[in-house]
């Protein structure tokens, strides 16, 4: 009597987790491919940082012992990274995020509640960002098909390897 099992991978989160279970090197290769495909969006997001938004942002400022400012263009550009989040409750799986605290504050100030910094920077809607979001959405069209093709190919390989 033979025993067979079929495992279906439903989405990207499951694909990344299945790759880790099968072979961690496969997961590393998948992430490297995804980062290279997402590079045009990362480059577009990095390109929007050209100047210090407000003159006061160039000075040091810390809160509760954690230095948040000064805002520098170089640090803002270096802070744009691709992140993978395959946790169960994660909303996005492959994310382009801003790791620099000053640039992240600039991007989101005033969207949760009105404050002086947000008012000085201008309106930004809830769940939106000032520069990085629009830049990534413009570049998204160019990478979307390549990313879907790579994910579908990887899911097919996993399905075939587990049967």
| Secondary structure (DSSP) of 97-132 | EE--HHHHHHHHTTSSS--HHHHHH----TT--SSH
For range 59-71, the mean pLDDT: 86
Encode pLDDT of 105-157 as tens digits. Answer: 888 887 888 878 877 887 877 777 888 888 988 888 878 889 888 888 888 87
CB 94 within 8 A of CB 84: yes
Burial tier of 157 (Cβ tally within 10 Å: 0-12, 13-18, 19+):
middle
What the block records as the tokens of 121 is: 């920077």
pLDDT tens-place string over residues 9-64: 457 788 788 888 887 888 888 889 999 999 999 999 999 999 988 888 888 888 88
Please tell me the pTM assigned to this model: 0.78
Q: 84: helix, coil or strand? A: strand
Region 86-97: mean pLDDT is 82
């Amino acid at each position: 009597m033979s025993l067979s099992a079929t495992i279906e991978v439903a989405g990207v989160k499951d694909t990344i987790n299945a790759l880790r279970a099968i072979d961690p090197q496969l997961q590393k290769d998948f992430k490297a491919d995804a980062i290279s495909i997402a590079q045009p969006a990362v480059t577009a997001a990095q390109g929007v940082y050209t100047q210090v938004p407000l003159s006061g942002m160039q000075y040091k400022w810390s809160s509760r012992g954690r230095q948040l400012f000064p805002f520098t263009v170089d640090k803002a550009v270096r802070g744009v990274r691709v992140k993978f989040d395959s946790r169960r409750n994660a909303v996005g799986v492959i994310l382009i995020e801003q790791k620099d605290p000053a640039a992240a504050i600039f991007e989101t100030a005033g969207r949760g509640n009105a404050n002086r910094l947000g008012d000085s920077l201008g309106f930004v809607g809830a769940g939106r960002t000032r520069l990085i979001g629009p830049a990534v959405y413009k570049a998204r069209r160019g990478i979307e098909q390549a990313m879907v093709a790579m994910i579908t190919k990887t899911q097919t390989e996993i399905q075939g390897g587990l049967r």
